[in-house]
Structure 1
Amino acid sequence: MRQKTAGIQDVARLSGVSTATVSRALSHPERVAESTREAVLRAVQETGYVANSLARNLRRRRTGSILALVPNLANPFFSQILSGLSSVLSPAGYGLLIADTLADPDPRARLAHYFDSGLVDGLVVFDATLPDPALMQRAHPPLLMACEWRGELPSVTVDNAEGAAIAIRHLLESGHRRIAHVTGPRGNVLTESRLQGAAGALAEAGLALHDDWTFTGDFGIASGAQAAARWLALADRPTAVFCASDEMACGFMGALQQAGIAVPGEVSVIGFDDIEVAGHLTPALTTIRQPRRDIGERAAHLLVDMIDQRSLMGPSERIAVELIRRQSVKSPG
């Protein structure tokens, strides 16, 4: 005899709640009490209930997919953010698609394709250099910026200027007055915000960010190594360097160590991001931690709410950063 397939009513009966509560617990687990959520999950496991997501999405006129547009998937910075996104989207019934914006020769056409095709229910955009949807004059699904930001679009970011200021203040408190900065690419919102925060913290101490001690990078390891070559070529070398990303700090430290320069013995180095490798370098990298998994989780929650409300506008959130003290900073010799 063919066994009956478990339905949502079976889950509701076994867990002692309504079918609406079951649906809420599975699609928005953060909105129900922990005890209720656990009871529903136990009932799902016991009954073997599998939500018919395809039928549900057809009824709701949804695809069940969210697209993340990421500039450079090879950058380890994004790993925990994408994990945070997936941890919220999956229980809510959404699959996560990922595209690398740097690998696309025509991002405007690609973005228009996603807007016009109806292939996704929402987008999380990590690249502020992409065309503004409003300027493209196209209808688009709910869209949220993460890490980077633009205009009035809803976003989840950290306080980049304050993070840079915290890094500079830490160097100042360690006794440094000759401080260099390795920036990100010109025109990038993260670059400008971190540069502003660093310059502001130096100004508070009556100091300035010298042009000769400001090295332009691109957030990548190679540009950090190139900045190290410029630091080595200086006749008057700064005693500390604030790198606007951990990857650049890694490249900077590695190039100096290959040249026989001791870190932090001859120069202190501080980064920004706290990627996984930062704590495993020699010396371990002092840095500004972005709570990357939290960024992904909050972005997912906000985007799902926008989709549920069928709204193109939503709130923005700014998440605090944290100084992580390790061994790459010491008082100047």
Structure 2
Amino acid sequence: MNIRELALRSGVSTATVSRALNDRAEVSEATRDRIRRLASELGYAPNEPARTLVRRRSDTIGLVWDTGYETLGFQHPFLQGLLSAVRNALSEADYHLMLLTTSGPGDADTTYLQAVRRHNLEGVVVLGTPADNRALRALAASDVPCSGIDVALSGPRTVRVTSDNAAGAAAAVEHLYAQGHRRIATVTGPLYLPPAAERLAGFRQACARLGLDVPPEYVVTGDFFLNSGQDAVRTLLATEQPPTAVFAAGDQMAIGALHAAADAGLSVPGDLAIVGFDDIDAASLVRPALTTVAQDQRALGSAAVKALRGLLDADPAEPAEPWIVPTRLVVRASSRPGA
């Protein structure tokens, strides 16, 4: 079934069929409905490349997810959930999604930009990709609208979307303080990633506000995965004056902390209180259930798409303000007896 056959069966010209399928005002509502109904019955699908040329838009957004770091790939549960949230938000806005990679022929420094031009993409959402990625820098420096979730992009048409990481970390410290803890340590994520650096900053700010001392050995760097959290808490428990509470900057690391406490014969929260960050599905399933700072994945995905659409309509000379999505503390048994 092609457009000529559809026009013949509809009793109209191919131009009228094209206008009807593209919502052009020159076609009456009755004719448009009749053509669309017949197209559906006959299984007609428009030639998308041709439609893109005619309409000068593709209704397609690119997704850049190329961590460049082995430990931060597709396997992390929070990033998987965030990808689903972005996909759903694009679908609700009637956009298609195309995954972009740097593999393939051409200059690796500009591969993303080449793909955007080749497929006439309207914009790009960036997720889980280091800002120092050379191909990403070239894309951000262009006139292509780019919305980065937890990625600090630098360019004329870029915007950052992120959770309120510092406030979330501060809420975790304040909760532990309210439970009577004065020796509070933290396991950070990789500090080259903005969320990890912001959570550490929020942790330090809250401790300073509350008059808590944070010796250097109370700050241990992890990688957002379980084993690093387990190793970090083993290190913390071996210090001369071990902490009574740990804030882990990611739930998987906090679950690793639970394992380390169990290995050491400690009760949680009796001997060691633990708070995580993200509220992944496993947080409520482990025992004791994990207190955590919840990120709203659906809100992050929606904000990324809204921010990107704002760039499409905005004056390129006006810098876009970052979108900050609130977090909330979810208190469970790992930090408060009887919770």
Fold match by TM threshold 0.5: yes
Equivalent residue for 2:82? 81
Counterpart Cα distance in 2 of 1:295 and 1:286: 21
Find the structure with the greater CA-based Rg: 2
How far off its partner does 1:292 sit? 0.9
Counterpart Cα distance in 1 of 2:175 and 2:38: 54
- CA distance change for structure 1 residues 254 and 60 in 2, over 3 Å: closer, same or farther? farther
Equivalent residue for 1:33? none
Q: Summarize deviations over 1:100-134 as a string: whole Å, max 9, x none.
A: 89xx8x9x964510112424522212234334779
Equivalent residue for 1:158? 163
Is 2:113–2:138's contact at 8 Å kept on the other side of the alignment?
no
Q: 1:116 and 2:111 equivalent?
A: no
Task: Give the aligned residue type for 1:285.
Answer: L
Is 1:199–1:208's contact at 8 Å kept on the other side of the alignment?
no
Query: How many equivalent pairs are there?
Result: 302
Match of residue 132, structure 2, among 119, 130, 133:
130
Match of residue 296, structure 1, among 295, 301, 304:
301
Counterpart Cα distance in 2 of 1:274 and 1:206: 28
Equivalent residue for 1:252? 257
Task: Give the aligned residue type for 1:129.
Answer: A
Is 1:240–1:269's contact at 8 Å kept on the other side of the alignment?
yes
Equivalent residue for 2:229? 224
Task: Give the aligned residue type for 1:55.
Answer: A
**Deviates further, 90-99 or 226-235:** 90-99
Is 1:81–1:297's contact at 8 Å kept on the other side of the alignment?
no
Match of residue 147, structure 1, among 124, 147, 150:
150
* Secondary structure of 2:124's aligned partner: strand
Q: Summarize deviations over 1:207-258 as a string: whole Å, max 9, x none.
A: 1222111111111112111112212322321010000111111122123223
Which runs of structure 2 are paired with 1:4-153 in the superposition (5 Å)?
Answer: 4=10, 48=40, 52=46, 53-70=48-65, 71=67, 72-98=73-99, 110=108, 112-117=110-115, 118-120=117-119, 121=121, 122-126=123-127, 127-131=129-133, 136=138, 139=142, 141-151=144-154, 153=158
Equivalent residue for 1:35? none
How far off its partner does 1:65 sit? 3.5
RMSD, aligned α-carbons? 3.7
Q: 1:191 and 2:196 equivalent?
A: yes
* Secondary structure of 2:186's aligned partner: strand
Is 2:294–2:327's contact at 8 Å kept on the other side of the alignment?
yes
Question: Structure 2, unaligned stretches of length 5 or more?
Answer: 26-34, 68-72
Is 1:116–1:140's contact at 8 Å kept on the other side of the alignment?
no
Is 2:275–2:334's contact at 8 Å kept on the other side of the alignment?
yes
Counterpart Cα distance in 1 of 2:130 and 2:154: 10
Q: Summarize deviations over 1:160-215 as a string: whole Å, max 9, x none.
A: 11111111001011111110000111332222211111111111111122211111
* Secondary structure of 2:63's aligned partner: strand
Equivalent residue for 1:31? none
How far off its partner does 1:93 sit? 4.3
* Secondary structure of 2:77's aligned partner: coil
- TM-score normalised by length of structure 1: 0.77
- TM-score normalised by length of structure 2: 0.76
Counting aligned pairs with the same residue, the percent is: 32
* Secondary structure of 1:154's aligned partner: strand
Counterpart Cα distance in 1 of 2:10 and 2:20: 11
Counterpart Cα distance in 1 of 2:281 and 2:252: 11
**Deviates further, 229-238 or 52-61:** 52-61
Is 1:142–1:311's contact at 8 Å kept on the other side of the alignment?
no
How far off its partner does 1:290 sit? 0.7
Which runs of structure 2 are paired with 1:230-309 in the superposition (5 Å)?
Answer: 230-307=235-312
- CA distance change for structure 1 residues 109 and 183 in 2, over 3 Å: closer, same or farther? farther
- CA distance change for structure 1 residues 202 and 259 in 2, over 3 Å: closer, same or farther? same
